[in-house]
A and B are shown apart, each in its own frame.
Chain A
Amino acid sequence: MILPGFIVSLMGGGILAWIASQKSLVLTRWISLLTVTVNLLGALVVWWQQPGVSSLWLLDYSIPWIPQFGISVHLAVDGLSLLMLLLTFFLGAIAVLISWKEIQNRVGLYHFCLLWVLAGITGVFLAMDLFLFFFFWEVMLIPMFFLIIIWGHENSRYAAFKFFIFTQASGLLMLVAILGLYFVNGNQTGNYTFDYFHLLEANIAPGVAMWLMLGFLAAFAVKLPVVPFHTWLPDAHSQAPTAGSLILAGLLLKTGAYGLLRFIVPLFRDQAMVIAPWAMAIGVFGIIYGAILAFSQTDLKRLVAYTSVSHMGFIMLGVFSFNELAAQGVVMQMITHGISTGALFILAGFIYERIHTRDITRMGGFWKSMPFLGACGLVFAMASLGLPGLGNFVAEFLTLVGAWQATHKFTIIATLGLVAATIYSLRILQKVFYGTQASATMLVDLSIRERFIMMALVVSIIWLGLFPQPILNTSKQPVKTILEVPDTARTKDKSMQIEIVSIQGKGGRYE
């Protein structure tokens, strides 16, 4: 019951927080913080109790929803989903904390939106029914839209609509693909179902499968984002409130990466292999392109947004390398990028709260007045350029080592991306923290709450850099299963079937 509990508690907490805002804003904030923290603890307990690395599906929950159409509320968690959940709740708690002082109008609605976005993201990571998946895909989109448009900066209408249209249009393509898959599979087997595990066994004609895959890919590529479709991201990131940017960069982009791993690769393996060179090419192009654009930006949040574009290129490269090293790198990249880029957005938010601008030409010399902020900025700029000892290095290095097994020329270009990352990361440090102090007034360094947030992030990114193995162990089995190359399509189905049965046979963890 814990799996629906995650989602329901977030949704319920959101409503409760909204109601509470009539009485007291402090209560609202505490309710949402408590909700997310309890979920985080719950996820940690699941992680702690995971029955060894060998078992694939840790928990499974399924009740029919609309049985006439073969739709069920089917939630399941494996190592990959679990890691994503941990990241979601961790960053979710930080997002609540970060908004403590920043958000002063319509606090109740804000926390409602925030928790519902988190609920949608949680659902996306848990749903094992494609219809349910799409449902949650939309649930996370709409509150996010309001987060941007209501609490955003000066140009938030434009950004919010751009975000909405990009994601919605691509999401509809995915819906078409989901329905296509549903009907193709139904026509073939007579079993009309949206269930992920059944659809894994679908035998689809290659031509049709290619179109279906492109439908899925459209949604994930826009969300990720892959280069030609990335332009919503800088606008949305720079206009959203700090917590919005944090969730956008830290979690929403990850749903795209998660989708690639969870759906594209296992459902359409052969087609994915066909487009792999192209996918890697645009991934690598994105790495360089994002890095070059990041260098020229003057808006701090926009700059960080472009670094996201650059980093997400590694995910494209890694997923389509089709080997365990790269895929593990991708998983690491999802987590570490969530933390490091999220932290950079938080830093930008802190600076914005103090000097009310995001323009880096009007910053400089902040190290003197805000050494703590400077140290944190240093850590995360270094994380973003891939310094060993910080989590991003492990992620990028594994991705590159894995990619090298698949392609040489793209890996070389991607590695050059590290140089470009150095250039823009150091530019942030130079413009913000070096030089003489730009602002006349003495700026106050971080408060206790802000220090707590930053320390949590710093500790986790260093921990991920030095001891990544627990994470890698957790995602090992799912990644292997996803990448498992079957001899023929049929034997794959068999083995899949047996795997599910065997887990169900164990009984104990099957709720």
Chain B
Amino acid sequence: MTTIPAEYGLVLATVLFMLGLISLLIRRNIVFMLISVEIMLNAAGLAFIVAGSRWSQADGQVMFLFILTMAAAEVSVGLALILQIYHQLKTVNSDEASKMKG
């Protein structure tokens, strides 16, 4: 059974993270942006798991749990926000929600 080099895991995490980031940057639909954030969080969690595995410690997994918690909270609040934005502005276009312009 061949072992996995740690960098491979990290490279996967990097690639997933970058894909999420690209999506976040190119999407205007705010729901898509939320999805992208989920991808990125997931990638970050992957990196922690790889690190935990690298040192054979449970800490990486604990961190993943925290990320998970945070992601859950974030999604719930984020979705509520999306609903509000849609309700107020009748659009899911994040560019149009630009009333905070300085």
- A–B touching in complex (CB under 8 Å): no
Residue positions of B touching A, CB distance < 8 A: none
Residue positions of A touching B, CB distance < 8 A: none
